[in-house]
Amino acid sequence: MAQSYRRAGASPRANQQKKAQQRVLAFLVLFLMVVLLSGVITWVIQLFQGDQPQAEMPELVTPGIVGSVLAPLPGEHPVVDETVHQFENIGPVQQTGEAVQLQTLDADRIALPENGLVDSTKYLPDVVFLGDSVTEGLDLYESPALGVATVCGYRGAVPSDIVNRKTMNRYRSETVVATEVALDVLAEKKPKAVYLMFGANALANHADDSVEKGYFGYYQQMILAIRELLGDEVDIYIQSMTPVVQGYANTNLNNDRIKRINEQLAQLATQNGCYYLDVYSALEDETGALNPDYSTEGLHLNAAGYQAWMDYLLRHVAYDSSLPFVMGSTYYRAS
């Protein structure tokens, strides 16, 4: 009886095991069929695309690296492998020399701005004014420069006279007070600042380009000679030419030409590390010509003109914390 019971119980279990094996076999067959089908599909796709070029995969770029150009750390220069990349090839459009336009500043923007009024009695003893007969008047008429600054104004002088070390007479009124070489005076005085103004004599007789080229060529040589003599520490101020009155007799010295020359003087200043001073604007009237109240004959200044000129200069000194500013002026500090 017990054996019959065991045989009856074993029969259902055998059927269950047989069914489980059948399911596993069916799953394996299905899996093999899927793998085989996938292989066939891939083979067909490759068969039809075999002759077409493969698209290039984009190169992965590590953050901080562009090609072989390493992103610099703070305070370090970038490392560049010039055999692979050049900076001009990086970016959507390659830049060329013809595509670069450099802006040239005009004289108004180059001119030194007002920086506060300095004390003439403390500042001007270390200053030399170098120029022609227009500059000579600083030592003739009452102005802050009279008897304080060194005024080297030589009648008829041009920049080439300074460069070529020409011996010239210095006048006070009609009396010759010195016969000297201007560069020797500078070497003796060793000023902290030199103020230059030339132009009227160089341009009055001719209006052709060759005269102007010679004028600017010697002007630059004069600047270099002064720097060689006094060192790079000296401050060199290039002053604009002064205007003339409307209808001035010498047509070569008309205000349109003077303004054009002044524009080039401003460029000369920036090219040679000098300061440019727009004295013209301090002396012009509402028409853009020399204020007739500042002159008796249309070119040279009178006492009022020199006062206006010096007031402009003393308010347009390149800023330095050691400058002796007048009490109440911008940047004044009690000592």
Q: pLDDT tens, 28-53?
A: 777 777 777 777 677 656 666 655 55
How far is 115 from 192, CA to CA, in rounded Å?
18
Tell me the per-residue pLDDT of 177-225, one tens digit each, with 9 for 90 and over.
999 999 999 999 999 999 999 999 989 888 888 999 999 999 999 999 9
Q: What confidence score (pLDDT) does residue 44 get?
A: 59
Question: pTM here?
Answer: 0.70
Nearest to 265 by CA among 322, 215, 317: 215
Q: Is 80 exceeded by the pLDDT of residue 4?
A: no
Q: Is 90 exceeded by the pLDDT of residue 126?
A: yes
Tokens 């004599």 map to which residue?
201
At residue 276, the 3 state secondary structure works out as strand
Q: Is 50 exceeded by the pLDDT of residue 76?
A: no
Tell me the backbone φ, ψ of residue 327, rounded to 5 degrees: -55, 135
Nearest to 115 by CA among 261, 262, 295, 325: 325
Averaged pLDDT for residues 107-117: 93
Task: Please report which helix (H) or strand (E) contains residue 138, including its range.
Answer: none
How far is 216 from 238, CA to CA, in rounded Å?
12
Of 34-48, 49-63, 118-132, the least confident: 49-63
Q: What confidence score (pLDDT) does residue 11 get?
A: 55
Q: What confidence score (pLDDT) does residue 24 get?
A: 67
Query: How far from 244 is each of 130, 248, 287, CA to CA, in Å?
Result: 20, 6, 11
The single-letter code of the amino acid at 292 is P
Q: What's the length of the chain? A: 335
